């Protein structure tokens, strides 16, 4: 069955069922791609502008492997994670999906807005599909007992 399309003024334009379904599927794919390419809702306060050096003595939660602490020396929401063996990862607590706040939930990071969950190294593991958490370069100085986080 072919019908005229009420969205167009052209009386000769007809849209059959197959054309409607293929156009609808194409629009769905385009909408999904547009949503996945949208940048997160990051403002200027969420960008680390200069390196920050942390004394590990000020963060007792980082003494244990898998310890997590919220960095206090910057307005940028960052968590520092002790991965063991002198390896630390600094992760943005701004969700890459749509800029929501991410919190530590005891064994995973979770977006408070849409429920995306992330492992302690920042990779996505469940909930709202998205990319990994943004990470920052870290440098551990065992002699000084410090970790420097760089943009």
Q: pLDDT by residue (tens digit) across 82-127?
A: 999 999 999 999 999 999 999 999 899 999 999 999 999 999 999 9
pLDDT number for residue 41: 46
Number of domains in the chain: 2
Identify whether the C-beta of residue 111 lies closer than 8 Å to the C-beta of residue 97: yes
pTM for the whole thing? Answer: 0.69
Q: Examine the pLDDT at 17 and tell me if it is beyond 60.
A: yes
Tell me the pLDDT band of 62, cut-offs 50, 70 and 90. very high
The reply to whether 83 and 136 lie within a common domain is yes
> What's the rounded Cα separation, in Å, for the pair 67 and 106?
10
Q: Would you say 68 and 104 are in contact if contact means Cβ atoms under 8 Å apart?
A: yes
Instruction: Say yes or no: 33 and 63 in one domain.
Output: no
Q: What is the mean pLDDT of the segment spanning 54-58?
A: 97
Examine the domain organization and report whether 67 and 120 are in the same domain. yes
The pLDDT of residue 43 is: 44
Q: Which domain holds residue 17?
A: 2-37
* 3-state secondary structure (DSSP) of residue 59: coil
Closest by CA to 89, choosing from 39, 129, 132, 126, is 132
């Amino acid at each position: 069955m072919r019908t005229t399309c009420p969205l167009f003024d052209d009386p000769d334009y007809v849209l059959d069922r197959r054309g409607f379904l293929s156009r609808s599927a194409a629009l769905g794919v385009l909408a999904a791609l547009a949503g996945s390419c949208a940048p997160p809702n990051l403002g200027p306060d969420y960008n680390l502008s200069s390196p920050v050096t942390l004394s590990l003595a000020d963060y007792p939660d980082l003494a244990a492997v898998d310890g997590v602490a919220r960095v206090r020396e910057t307005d940028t929401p960052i968590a520092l994670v002790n991965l063991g063996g002198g390896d630390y990862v600094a992760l943005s607590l701004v969700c890459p999906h749509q800029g929501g706040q991410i919190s530590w939930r005891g064994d995973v990071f979770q977006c408070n807005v849409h429920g995306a969950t992330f492992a302690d190294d920042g990779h996505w593991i469940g909930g709202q599909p998205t990319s990994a958490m943004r990470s920052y370069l870290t440098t551990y100085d065992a002699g000084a007992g410090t970790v420097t986080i760089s943009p």
